[in-house]
Structure 1
């Protein structure tokens, strides 16, 4: 049974440390390059522009850590909503598992931030230093004024983009309309300056200098992706049966029938290697370094078009398809991932819909169980904590249930401003005649005054003497 070829490309050197070979990526145009460009620039626009959006009198998306408030358009999340973040992270993980099992590393090739910023940095490099051949010649040439200016302009643009990236990232935690003027007037606080510098430097190093090293050696996804692959996973593959003839692959003139010469369709132009951002040869078979960007597909199809051959020598395919069979899209593992993903999304949506923008807590006075008052009543002390987590000022009505007759100094209604937390110490007094047991369960119920809808209820106890 034929399989997708796998080649051992482990270095033969005895040393564990192998010097990095600089990869000069060649620019190529094609359908997959267009798709990635649209997704890349769309993600860039989303990242850099979203922090400038406003919602009412504040920034639309703002993670206000000092105030412990996380604003997302019209919703404010609090630390109490941390479980929602956990659910979102689990959904993201199962979403990645589902997509990977279906179509391989399309996340890495089209939407991963590391890949996206690396492609932008390579685009800047192409515009400042020239084509791949010019850059390779420049690497070998001695320093000159032209080389200094081209290299210098590249690094200046890299640093400006990295600084803009760090500034934008911090702007989701500190209001951007205050952050930018403070940066221009050198009035940043120490933490803002540190994180802008940190993320800016990380972007400059990862996207400008390390690039494929991050994908190959630092990203854990490259290591565990194989456990999510199966024979029906769409991956970028080289059709070895078609590309390799009796005499293997090789150069030939246009118009020559490869079968008559005993050659495969591959003309061994190595263009698929020149355009690969991780520097692999897709003809060596499935490799964990492949990020699924499909640039090699665009490169090979362009050569097949020039030679008059059918496209698809390198293509998105599956192991079953290469064997001459058909791809099974409905398979147990994929269905399992999709079902778990659907359940998690449904659970998160339900939690969001049923979430009330009100927090209630009752704290008993721990100093004493009860007090006997001069009026011959039994008193219990409590503290009522209420938080209005909505974006509007609201009036709430307070009701106590569980006791037939009682006296309390708690207000009947309270008005809470948006995102206001307020504590009310109060007491409940009860005539001992009305108490049948030493411990009576009570409930504090909160209603929204405008709609009379119940927004929260909390249980507590009223404690009295045994006799």
Structure 2
């Protein structure tokens, strides 16, 4: 019980704490929508070339046919990956491991040389954002028109434009999801289910799931994915060094900034080459100001270089105020020859050497990959048994994998013990193309052959009739009773 003279305690934050909170601000920055201005130029052309190349591959590969089947198909039901003339089985996971190593070292190598080339030109987030921005510009207009449209109150025109844009985005996103699923379910099956909309539950889930991700990431979230969700933006700093090519602003040449008339010598007005037009900020897909130095939000797309070069041309100033360069090159005023010499440094040579070796190992592995594989499993349920004629029998399961695109006939024989033979077998087996055939064999030997126990080594020989070089010599053991 409270004392009658007591007063309720009021918790009042100290003035110092309040000032500190005001200085630090909110822990979460509210998003400011980035209105990206379209730009043309050398690097913009390269970005669009990569957009066309990557999307022609992605959307086009499922339609290609190879030997009467889909050229690229990761058939999960059959547990086989078809890539043109190659057929990969679960046992080929080794190649997937090498491919992942190649991807990792390629990332290290190209990042050490020229920063975020992958992010700026070939990353799916960048590619689809470019596509969705192009759709938005075609429907709503250029940057200024889009800004005015968003500020305007809702009207029939605004609603129609927004609805058209989001509908176009949704169509692209759903077609992207459909194409993604076509890599795992044969396209013919998907097309057959398209008209009656009779997709399986998993096909529907992945079409909608992948389509929704494309729609929200490329259309709604955009730069937020690169700034806050992509881990590469966070650890790229440890992969850079002072000799890494990055997009840089030449502060020594550009400062102090200021507007002036066309053709005016900057020195005559006490200014640098930068006219403070802010076009480099307007064309940036993440909305940063490259003049503030290297920032983790920069994806290396070089749109600011195209914009600045265009302004320099109009002002009759030399290009390169914003350019690809290195930290050391800016400090020491290196030319192109010195920059190239330092880009190819021990670090990049080591990365490049390892990458080349792993790539050669990958190519060699594919070139020497055996077209025939056989697994021999002795039936442990029956172990060994005596059959008519004084013979001892062991039963074996042979899993014969024909990894080629043509059906083949194989001759099967066994050796290793005196008098060994295969009972009730014609010596030949037919295996369809790119398939596995299970073969049960009853192997028999005379009772007085070999040593008691499982120390008797035998060999199965499987050879293709049309090509004797395609052969497997697989060892196993024969169990004799004690």
**TM-score bracket, shorter-length normalisation:** over 0.9
Of the three residues 288, 303, 307, the one matched with 2:311 is 303
Shift of 1:421: 2.2
Q: Within the alignment, does 1:445 sit opposite 2:461 as a pair?
A: yes
Shift of 1:434: 3.4
1:194-273 counterparts in 2 under 5 A? 194-244=205-255, 248-273=256-281
Distance 1:256 1:12, change over 3 A: farther
Partner of 1:392: 406
Partner of 1:91: 102
Most deviating of 268-277 and 138-147: 138-147
Of the three residues 380, 384, 407, the one matched with 1:366 is 380
Partner of 1:110: 121
- State the Cα deviation string for residues 239-289 of structure 1 (Å, max 9, x = none): 111111xxx211111222111222111011100000000000000001111
Question: TM-score, normalized by length of structure 1?
Answer: 0.93
Distance (whole Å) between structure 2 residues aligned to residue 156 and residue 370 of structure 1: 69
What is the alpha-carbon root mean square deviation over aligned residues? 1.7
Higher relative contact order, structure no. (Cα contacts within 8 Å, ≥ 6 residues apart): 1
1:9-408 counterparts in 2 under 5 A? 13-244=24-255, 248-323=256-331, 324-325=333-334, 326-327=338-339, 328-408=342-422
- State the Cα deviation string for residues 389-447 of structure 1 (Å, max 9, x = none): 22111011112221232232244111111133222222222224332564211111211
Most deviating of 207-216 and 352-361: 352-361
- State the Cα deviation string for residues 45-75 of structure 1 (Å, max 9, x = none): 2211111111122111111111111111121
* Runs of 5+ unmatched residues, structure 2: 1-21
Distance (whole Å) between structure 1 residues aligned to residue 128 and residue 23 of structure 2: 32
**What is the count of residue pairs matched by the alignment?**
453
* Runs of 5+ unmatched residues, structure 1: 1-10
Distance (whole Å) between structure 1 residues aligned to residue 470 and residue 218 of structure 2: 52
Residue 447 of structure 1 aligns to a residue whose secondary structure is strand
Residue 51 of structure 1 aligns to a residue whose secondary structure is helix
Distance (whole Å) between structure 2 residues aligned to residue 62 and residue 213 of structure 1: 33
Q: Within the alignment, does 1:416 sit opposite 2:431 as a pair?
A: yes
Shift of 1:463: 2.2
Distance (whole Å) between structure 1 residues aligned to residue 470 and residue 133 of structure 2: 57
- State the Cα deviation string for residues 163-195 of structure 1 (Å, max 9, x = none): 111111111112223313422322222211111
Distance (whole Å) between structure 2 residues aligned to residue 13 and residue 51 of structure 1: 53
- State the Cα deviation string for residues 355-377 of structure 1 (Å, max 9, x = none): 12322111112135422334223
Shift of 1:342: 1.2
Question: TM-score, normalized by length of structure 2?
Answer: 0.91
Of the three residues 428, 439, 445, the one matched with 2:443 is 428
Residue 434 of structure 1 aligns to a residue whose secondary structure is coil
Partner of 1:460: 476
Distance (whole Å) between structure 2 residues aligned to residue 238 and residue 87 of structure 1: 39
Most deviating of 424-433 and 335-344: 424-433
Distance (whole Å) between structure 2 residues aligned to residue 342 and residue 280 of structure 1: 36
Distance 1:418 1:261, change over 3 A: same
Shift of 1:317: 0.7
8 Å Cα contact 2:420-2:446 kept in structure 1: yes
Distance (whole Å) between structure 1 residues aligned to residue 288 and residue 471 of structure 2: 59
8 Å Cα contact 1:445-1:454 kept in structure 2: no
Residue 179 of structure 1 aligns to a residue whose secondary structure is helix
Moved over 6 A (4+): none
Shift of 1:158: 0.7
